[in-house]
Amino acid sequence: MSCVAPGRFARVNRLADETSPYLRQHRDNPVDWYPWGPAAFAAAAERNVPILLSVGYSACHWCHVMAHECFEDIEVAAVMNEHFVNVKVDREERPDVDAVYMEAVQALTGRGGWPMTVFLTPTGQPFFGGTYFPKPQFLQLLATITDVWRHRPADIQQNVDALTEALRRTERVTPLDDLPPVSQVELGLQQLLSTFDPEWGGFGRAPKFPSTMSLDLLARHAQLTGDAQSLQVLTTTLDAMASGGVYDHLGGGFARYSVDDQWLVPHFEKMLYDQAQFVRVYTHAYLLTRQPHYRQVVEETVAYVLRDLRHPDGGFYSAEDADSPDEHGHGHEGLFHTWTIAEVRDVLGDGSDDGADAALEWYEFTEEGNFEGRTIPARLHHRGDLLRPAHIEQARRRLFEARELRRRPGLDDKVLSEWNGMMLSALCEAAAALDRPDWTAAALANGEFLVRELRRPDGRWHRSWHAAGHPPARHAALAADHAHLVDAFTRLGELTGQARWLRAAEDVADTLLDHFWDVQHGGVFTSADDGEQLVVRQKDLFDNATASANSTTAMALLRLSALTGELRLRQHADRILGLIGRVVPQAPSGFSNALAALDMRHAGTTEIVITGDRPDLLAEVRGRWLPNAVLAWGERHDSPLWAGRDDGLAFVCRAHVCQLPVSERSDLAVQLA
């Protein structure tokens, strides 16, 4: 194919037919990209060349850098096309593919990340890989791989054998004979406390990730035991994150992580799954402490999601990019979110009475800036002091409105079942806690969107949806999708009192256990028994940026079992906890969500039933955080919780054994205390 301009094809490549925004970003590369699928493997086998697998996602800054340096470059593309079959994967669409080959890269290099580059045999077996490569090193690597492939096949096979053995480690994990002891929870808490940064919050050193599941475990411990140290770790970290530049002080929402210890400079991509997890932990912190700035963070983060990440029909988009274009169309990291003093004065005025001076002081602007000569608005030196006076709020609104006129970061507008389930769960909790009927309406719209657009006629589920797709819904849902949908529909039933959502949760749970369950060792496999079979069939056990499929399944099944009385759901949860319990001692703080489920299992669930029309009793329950409680109200459904219950009363039960019913709010408060 002839060139039109440097780095451009005369026509688009195969990725033009894909719906993933990340794949479509590469559709006019000179690289002859294939999407993941049989055609790529057949081409590699026919040509007897390796597969070059490149995995990334649309909001990834370094993915863009490598794309510009390598994949848009004619010289690099020519080498790739001559010696490899090149395959692009959106890790968000295919986390199963990503997880398998990321584990191979980590086994080879001791580290991982994106962009990820992996070299495979035509049968999909990995033999070498890495992450980001600049052009000179990448060209050298391509030459080396080509030489080894042609002249040293024994070395290739040796690597294949070693990596395949490493990839099978989750298959070999066997469960404990009994439920893991509660001491595993204490082990996880102790490790978190030992790695806590007392100065800036968080755990360990830069780069700092939010570790929201670990914070939630500490919040749970503080709520249930009154432990002051856990509460201090929680509030120090939440205050530091919300005061730093990882939080968008003008528009709400959080960036993915901080490159420094202070939470000041983020990688600016904003992911839906992060917003979900931040909303949940700040909601819990607000109910635990009643600090109004935590409520403000929740309100502003939800507002961001509903304003900028929501499809008109109710689905939630995946992410906003770290980069945004300048006036020449060139992308720059953080450009949309950063300011100069002159830009602030252009919006707010030059005079001391115009509000610019106060806003510049409030958001800690300096002449030199804090990011590449520009400034990320922050409250770094006024930690936790986030409630804006009226004149600062007016300035914020004007700056936000001016920022809305800028060229926006790229939007990844695909809708993922897993991440929508996460956001829906968090939105349900926040809507109940903060008494927001508008959020309840948004939660209902999202639940209905998921059922309408991502559930197949046969009851099975898709993972990904995009409005431009034909059809819009694609890719078989994985275990994590199902697990989060069970949790989300259960919580939507608790929020609305509508029995249809509990039935939906039960249906998804049945599918999850029918098609993903490991009968031999327990736990859920990442992919279904009738889905695409990769080089290994893995289990997702470790909690990383998102909770593992297995820990999410355990928590979701425990809660659904408490509401429905289905003991088999709890029994499956127990087997998952026994499986995870085998590996928890290796890295206890890497299993925070699983440990939260284990903690609830040992403590036992509290079932609360409110019969009839009693909004006062409902408000009493929702006004506090009860980590181990489930709530039944509104429409009656098939459950022992509803048997023989008269209207107009509240019942507080544990393991379906109830205290005396009460009709007064004050009496209910005593039982819940």
Tell me the per-residue pLDDT of 505-563, one tens digit each, with 9 for 90 and over: 999 999 999 999 999 999 999 999 999 999 999 999 999 999 999 999 999 999 999 99
Q: Are 127 and 161 spatial neighbours (Cβ–Cβ below 8 Å)?
A: no
Task: For residue 362, give both structure tokens.
Answer: 């409030």
Q: What is the mean pLDDT of the chain?
A: 95
* Cα distance between the two ends of the chain: 72
Please give the average per-residue pLDDT across 128-141, as a whole number.
97
Q: What is the pLDDT of residue 1?
A: 27
Q: How confident is the model at residue 655 (pLDDT cuts 50, 70, 90)?
A: confident
Q: What is the pLDDT of residue 180?
A: 97
Strands 85-90 and 33-35, how do they pair?
Answer: parallel
Q: What is the pLDDT of residue 11?
A: 67
Spell out the residues 6+ positions from residue 156 whose beta carbon is closer than 8 angstroms to its own.
121, 127, 148, 149
Q: What is the pLDDT of residue 656?
A: 77
Q: What is the pLDDT of residue 352?
A: 63
Q: How confident is the model at residue 212 (pLDDT cuts 50, 70, 90)?
A: very high
**Using one digit for the tens of pLDDT, what is the confidence trace for 15-52?**
999 999 999 999 999 999 999 999 999 999 999 999 99
Share of the chain above pLDDT 70, in %: 98
Q: Which CATH superfamily is domain 14-167 in?
A: Glutaredoxin (3.40.30.10)
Q: What is the pLDDT of residue 351?
A: 66
Please give the average per-residue pLDDT across 229-239, as a whole number.
98
Instruction: Give SS3 for 79.
Output: helix
Task: For residue 572, give both structure tokens.
Answer: 């499956």
Spell out the residues 6+ positions from residue 468 whose beta carbon is closer than 8 angstroms to its own.
19
**Using one digit for the tens of pLDDT, what is the confidence trace for 562-609?**
999 999 999 999 999 999 999 999 999 999 999 999 999 999 999 999
At residue 462, does pLDDT exceed 70? yes
Spell out the residues 6+ positions from residue 102 whose beta carbon is closer than 8 angstroms to its own.
55, 112, 116
Q: What is the pLDDT of residue 8?
A: 39
Please give the average per-residue pLDDT across 234-257, as a whole number.
98
Q: What is the pLDDT of residue 170?
A: 80
At residue 9, does pLDDT exceed 50? no
Q: What is the pLDDT of residue 67?
A: 96
Strands 319-320 and 270-271, how do they pair?
Answer: antiparallel
**Using one digit for the tens of pLDDT, what is the confidence trace for 330-345?**
889 999 999 999 999 9
Please give the average per-residue pLDDT across 490-511, as a whole number.
98
Please give the average per-residue pLDDT across 283-293, as a whole number.
98
Q: What is the pLDDT of residue 329?
A: 87
Q: How confident is the model at residue 172 (pLDDT cuts 50, 70, 90)?
A: confident
Residue ranges per structural domain of the chain: 14-167, 326-411, 607-672
Q: What is the pLDDT of residue 353?
A: 66
Spell out the residues 6+ positions from residue 575 whose beta carbon is closer than 8 angstroms to its own.
175, 522, 523
**Using one digit for the tens of pLDDT, what is the confidence trace for 191-206?**
999 999 999 999 999 9
At residue 413, does pLDDT exceed 50? yes
Cβ neighbour number for residue 397 with a 10 Å cutoff: 12
